[in-house]
């Protein structure tokens, strides 16, 4: 009798392991298929990004299989895909019967909640960041070729405006998007970027998603920004001063991403960063990006004063992002200690 019981247990155990792998594959390759067939992503993603996402799917599939077999003897182990689909199915069932039964917790426990929410974060941001990183790499490569066209007859102001500025901007954007793509793709104890928590509030998610495609396109229709990174001012001198300031602002912006390193990701707490740009203010990336945008609209204000209201809308969105992030991170005692040391959100000694 014990022999047959052991056989049944082994069979059930192997069945569970197989189910975990299948659930992960459905999540990984279902997402990839969605990116390849959805009309928005087909237009948004470059061919290079689609190919990269294929290899990313292979990578996550390998990690999934390795994780399942590594943890096969743990009684409390469940794959991320299994937790995701189990929560999804339970959510659908709950929506169907909630009028007849008492309300039950949507997530089984805090760990499941973190896994599901971070899975959604990765599903949303990975294709965006990979696409941005590839586009920025192509822009950076073009700027490298452009450097070769520098003429010794050009003034140093013209060189900064037409060569150094676009080269620096493309480099900064490339570094920023590569770091964030890396942060979404890789998570380990070695990198010290394990997820502690994910923002579970509607306000936090709305504020963050409004800043990224495709959601930001909805806000852009309501509050369009009629400006450009390469906007020109009235003369070479003014353009030079503006672009020099913009380089400094974007340097501060990308230094925030460098300070985060492998912890780069939205809506998450992967450990509180207190060094680098974050030793000056609590939101260095937001304030530098918003000030950068304000400079780009200066030449447009004269002919289109309505753009000031538009820019105020986007400034407010990033202010709300900062507030909701702090509300989420304040659940971590390390962040409360950090706020006591770095007292200013945006501008040192002011606010």
Give the pLDDT score at 3. 44
Residues 39-75: tens digit of each pLDDT: 999 999 999 999 999 999 999 999 999 998 888 788 8
Give the pLDDT score at 1. 46
Report whether 318 contacts 286 (CB < 8 A): yes
Is it the case that residue 5 has pLDDT exceeding 50? no
Terminal Cα-to-Cα distance of the chain (whole angstroms):
73
Q: Which of 72-81, 140-149, 324-333 has the lowest mean pLDDT?
A: 140-149
Q: How much is the pTM? A: 0.91
* Cα–Cα distance measured from residue 288 to residue 346, given in angstroms and rounded to the nearest whole number: 9
**CATH numbers and ranges of domains, the chain:** 1-106 (no CATH), 142-351 (1.20.120.1630)
Give the pLDDT score at 139. 92
* Residues in contact with 76: Cβ distance below 8 Å, sequence separation at least 6, in sequence order: none
CA dihedral 281, 284, 290, 291 (to 10 degrees): 70
What percent of the chain is predicted at pLDDT more than 70? 90
Q: How confident is the model at residue 92 (pLDDT cuts 50, 70, 90)?
A: confident
């Amino acid at each position: 009798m014990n022999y047959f019981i052991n056989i049944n247990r082994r069979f059930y155990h192997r069945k569970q392991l197989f189910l975990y792998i299948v659930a992960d594959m459905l999540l990984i390759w279902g997402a990839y298929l969605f990116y390849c067939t959805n009309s928005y992503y087909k237009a948004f993603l470059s061919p290079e990004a689609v190919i990269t996402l294929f290899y990313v799917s292979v990578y996550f599939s390998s990690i999934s299989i390795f994780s399942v077999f590594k943890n096969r003897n743990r009684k409390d182990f469940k794959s991320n895909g299994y937790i995701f689909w189990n929560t999804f199915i339970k959510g659908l069932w709950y929506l169907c019967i909630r009028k007849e039964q008492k309300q039950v917790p949507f997530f089984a426990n805090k760990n499941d909640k973190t896994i599901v929410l971070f899975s959604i974060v990765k599903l949303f941001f990975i294709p965006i960041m990979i696409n941005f990183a590839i586009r920025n790499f192509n822009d950076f490569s073009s700027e490298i070729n452009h450097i070769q066209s520098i003429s010794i007859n050009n003034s140093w102001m013209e060189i900064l405006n037409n060569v150094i500025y676009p080269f620096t901007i493309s480099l900064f954007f490339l570094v920023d998007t590569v770091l964030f793509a890396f942060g979404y793709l890789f998570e380990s104890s070695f990198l010290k970027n394990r997820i502690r928590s994910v923002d579970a509030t509607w306000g936090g998610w709305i504020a963050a998603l409004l800043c990224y495609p495709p959601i930001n396109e909805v806000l852009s229709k309501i509050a369009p920004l009629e400006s450009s990174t390469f906007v020109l001012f009235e003369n070479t001198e003014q353009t030079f001063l503006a672009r020099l300031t913009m380089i400094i602002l974007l340097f501060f912006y990308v230094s925030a991403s460098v300070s985060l390193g492998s912890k780069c990701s939205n809506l998450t707490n992967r450990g509180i960063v207190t060094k680098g740009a974050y030793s000056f203010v609590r939101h260095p990336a937001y304030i530098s990006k918003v000030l950068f945008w304000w400079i780009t609209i200066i030449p447009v204000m004269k002919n289109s004063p309505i753009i000031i209201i538009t820019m105020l809308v986007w400034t407010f969105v990033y202010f709300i992002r900062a507030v909701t992030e702090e509300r989420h991170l304040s659940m971590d005692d390390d962040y409360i200690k950090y706020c006591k040391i770095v007292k200013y959100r945006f501008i040192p000694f002011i606010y």
